[in-house]
Amino acid sequence: MAPHLFACFGTSSRRAVHEKQAATADMSAEEQRRGGAVLVELFSSQGCATSPEAEVLISRLGRGDFELEAPVIVLAHHVDYWDYVGWKDPFGSSRSTVRQKAYVEALRLDTMFTPQAVVQGRAQCVGTDQEGLLSAIASAPRFPALTFKATFQRPSPDTLQVTLAGALRSKVDSQGVNIMVALYESGLVTDIPKGENKDRVLSNDFVVRRLEKLCAVKDVSAKKTVSGTVSFPLWEGFNSSKCGMAVFVQNSGHQIFGSQNFSLPHNV
């Protein structure tokens, strides 16, 4: 996608857009109210002047600073399409850019922009729009939390292997879904010597370091056990105490149908 189709927005530059869809045909209001966590994904870049404000908001959200009825799981995807402006985001990834593009297409948007927040894969708003984001979370469909158990291993110094097994707690039809696993890191601090955020010190939390597919499933009951193993390549300075892992279910339209969050063992 050409650079001129990208945009960097502040709160007042773009109105929040929501696309609500029914969770499932037979899900009662009570089941939705008592559902699991809502997945919030932020697409940002250290090369975007307004992204730091959104990063602060997403950090507060992940810390539980807001009184929300629904628990939330937050992930920050750093895109790489602002790297040409003058500062290459050390956490930027073409995979994050591809994921955001998939949301742009699924939500029928005209352009990619940062910072952008996507809620349950169904609603989106400018990442600095606190009111719009909290409203999207409050109105998002909720699904039973996944019941996976995780086993962590280090088969080599630079690899983390995770085996997951558990129930999705939601029936999957013949269209199928993908079970995704994100390894993220918090407490990141970067001095920015150039670019749009020149001379600033930026703090980033819940930064997705790697997103992998555990498995694809279809035609399974809510109680059926699903299992799989995924391996993450580790980076220099990896510290398990700063990291976490999110598991979530998404369909081909990137809509989320349940999620679960894990802390990593300190001895991994």
Gap between the Cα atoms of 116 and 8, Å rounded = 9
Cβ atoms of 78 and 207 closer than 8 Å = yes
Cβ atoms of 191 and 201 closer than 8 Å = yes
Written as one string, the DSSP assignment of 1-32 is --GGGEEE--GGGS--EE----S-TT--HHHH
Residue 161 placed within a domain: yes
**Residue 121 φ/ψ region, left for φ over 0, alpha for ψ in the -120 to 50 degree band, beta for the rest:** left
DSSP code of residue 175: T
158: domain CATH number is 2.60.40.10
> What's the structural domain count of the chain?
1
Gap between the Cα atoms of 110 and 250, Å rounded = 23
CA-wise closest residue to 49 among 113, 144, 118, 117:
113
Q: Is the peptide bond before 265 cis (omega within 30 degrees of 0)?
A: no
Question: Each residue's pLDDT tens digit in the chain (268 positions)?
Answer: 334 457 777 754 444 444 433 333 333 444 444 579 999 999 999 999 999 999 999 999 999 999 999 999 999 999 999 999 999 999 999 999 999 999 999 999 999 999 999 999 999 999 999 999 999 999 999 999 999 999 999 999 999 999 999 999 989 998 999 999 999 999 999 999 999 999 999 999 999 999 999 999 999 998 999 999 999 999 999 999 999 999 999 999 999 999 999 999 988 8
Confidence (pLDDT) at 115? 98
Cβ atoms of 44 and 149 closer than 8 Å = no
Residue 52 placed within a domain: yes
Residue 61 placed within a domain: yes
Helix, strand or coil for residue 119? Answer: strand
Residue 268 placed within a domain: no
Confidence (pLDDT) at 34? 58
Residue 82 placed within a domain: yes
List the domain range (segments joined by +) for residue 73.
3-20+28-263
